[in-house]
């Protein structure tokens, strides 16, 4: 069961993110399914419904992330947490090259892989809107 997110808290999260997915950085107005409020640490992992644990996510990132909080990095074989929009700097973990989002760190690699940043359809979406 998901906790209620008040209108004020929802508005704060959207404004703080400037209307962009905090994972792949697509603008909410450029994605067909819009954006959703996500618990960075899922409630089932004891994440609270508070400002510091909420992020704006596009439907794709939210779907692929689900309640996961990390995964096994292919490069190291070790568990690595996902990128956290509240505590991490996006540009330290990722960079845009053309229309791809390339990981710069194990956190970036794990997040990019699980959230499927560079699936062909997602790259085509960024190309179509001309966004990098």
What distances in angstroms separate CA 114 from CA 57, 60, 69, 106, 121, one per listed residue?
Answer: 14, 11, 10, 12, 15
What distances in angstroms separate CA 77 from CA 66, 67, 73, 121, 124, one per listed residue?
Answer: 21, 21, 5, 27, 30
Distance separating alpha carbons of residues 122 and 25, to the nearest angstrom = 12
Q: Give the residue from 1, 25, 43, 51 showing the smallest Cα distance to 111.
A: 25
Residue with tokens 């209307």: 19
Query: What's the whole-model pTM score?
Result: 0.93
Please determine, for residue 57, whether its predicted confidence score (pLDDT) is greater than 80. yes
The two tokens of residue 111 are: 């997040």
- Dihedral over alpha carbons 33, 58, 44, 71 (to 10 degrees): 130
The two tokens of residue 75 are: 């490069």
- Band (pLDDT 50/70/90 cuts) for residue 2 is low
At 13-50, the pLDDT tens digits run 999 999 999 999 999 999 888 899 999 999 999 999 99
Beta carbons of 105 and 92 less than 8 angstroms apart = yes
At 87-118, the pLDDT tens digits run 999 999 999 999 999 999 999 999 999 999 99
């Amino acid at each position: 069961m998901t906790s209620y997110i008040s209108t004020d808290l929802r508005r704060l999260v959207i404004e703080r993110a400037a209307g962009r997915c905090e994972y792949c950085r697509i603008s909410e107005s450029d994605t067909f399914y819009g954006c959703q409020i996500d618990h960075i640490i899922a409630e089932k992992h004891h994440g609270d419904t508070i400002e510091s644990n909420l992020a704006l996510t596009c439907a794709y990132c939210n779907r692929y992330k689900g309640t996961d909080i990390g995964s096994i990095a292919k490069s190291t074989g070790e568990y690595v947490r996902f990128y956290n929009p509240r505590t991490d700097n996006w540009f330290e973990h990722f960079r845009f090259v053309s229309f791809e989002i390339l990981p710069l760190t194990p956190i970036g690699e794990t997040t990019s892989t699980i959230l499927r940043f560079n699936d062909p359809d997602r790259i085509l979406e960024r190309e179509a809107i001309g966004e990098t």
